[in-house]
Chain A
């Protein structure tokens, strides 16, 4: 190369070819400085560490996570020498590095999307009560998927479950999940619900679920969404944009379907509750009959007593009219011809006297 004379353009092209051959894609980690977006289309920033700094360029649409000066990030880029002799990295993708940057990026995007109303409660749709056709977006190799399927099969059956196998971790994960969402949302027969699940992992592992485009796609899904990512404590922007958030993949299955064992228990309990109802009704009827019999007996007894008393009174009255009782009190019965010279019979209680009438006069 010592004697080769090149034009500036040739030199730049040769250098770029060499760079492309040696470093087709590099990952570079550093801190963001001088971040700016020109005309809403072009993103420029420097990536630096204690020992140096390199300029970076990317298109604004490629920027899937919000970044700002001071954040530590990892860029996936192609090194390039510009026609103006400036060395820069053409960035294809970037992701925050370290917990602090992840959190910062999360908070910035969260505030932005919140302001747009993507997480508003009014937007949330209820899940279908008992779906028969569900779509699942997950990695079929993931433990979270296995947990979900196990709980799903334990709880309910007869479902049509369509699964989109996607990466749920790494740089490609958001795009794959977006494609799967598109796929299910454009089916002729739409599923009744789309479930996105992934088991636990580090903040970096789960960062795909904080991708802006993915979050927007979830929020605009025609089909209601249920997102269960990580563990109870892990909250992603995808969770927040979904119609319903599940704490874990297992919890997603629990929220989605009733538990058949519980239903069987309830059915058995309902049936068991009928026998006491019948017994109660039979007892009540028995009590009613007994009371009616007792009432009838009381009425009969009362009527009998009344009649006994009535007969007694009549008998006493009758006795009052008995002539013998009158004669007993000293009175006498007189029979015969009541005229002077007539013969009369005077009957007393113990004797009968025959006598002649001497005189009859007015009192």
Chain B
């Protein structure tokens, strides 16, 4: 599993936001832009896949509440 794959959605989203911020920063360089764009696009796809795959774990507790504990 690559480092990127082991990241949480929140971490991936933060990373994507950082990458997007680079495009609007003074560090922006056209020569690097295309590579960075490809990387951001890939990360966005991963986030989308991760979000769609998330399932909730719903559990009804065994405790009975119809009598005093």
Contacts and interface: CB of A to CB of B under 8 A. Distances in A.
Interface of A: 130, 140, 149, 152-153, 156-167, 172, 176-177, 179-180, 182-183, 260, 263-264, 267-268, 270-271, 273-275, 277-278, 281-282, 285
Given A165-B65, A263-B51, A267-B16, A278 B59 contact: no
A176 B28 CA distance: 60
A256 to B, nearest CB: 12
Contact of B34 (A176, A270, A278): A278
A208 to B, nearest CB: 13
B33 A158 contact: no
A277 B56 CA distance: 38
Interface of B: 9-10, 13, 16-17, 20, 23-24, 28, 30, 33-34, 37, 40-41, 44, 47-48, 51-61, 63, 65-66, 68-69
B44 A277 contact: no
Contacts of B65: 164-166, 176-177, 179-180, 183
Nearest to A140: B60
15 contacts: A130-B10, A140-B60, A160-B57, A164-B65, A176-B66, A180-B63, A264-B51, A267-B13, A267-B16, A267-B44, A267-B48, A270-B20, A274-B20, A278-B30, A278-B33
B11 to A, nearest CB: 12
Given A159-B57, A264-B52, 14 more contacts: A140-B60, A152-B56, A157-B53, A157-B55, A160-B56, A179-B65, A179-B69, A180-B65, A260-B52, A264-B48, A270-B20, A271-B41, A273-B20, A285-B30
A167 B65 CA distance: 9
A153 B24 CA distance: 35
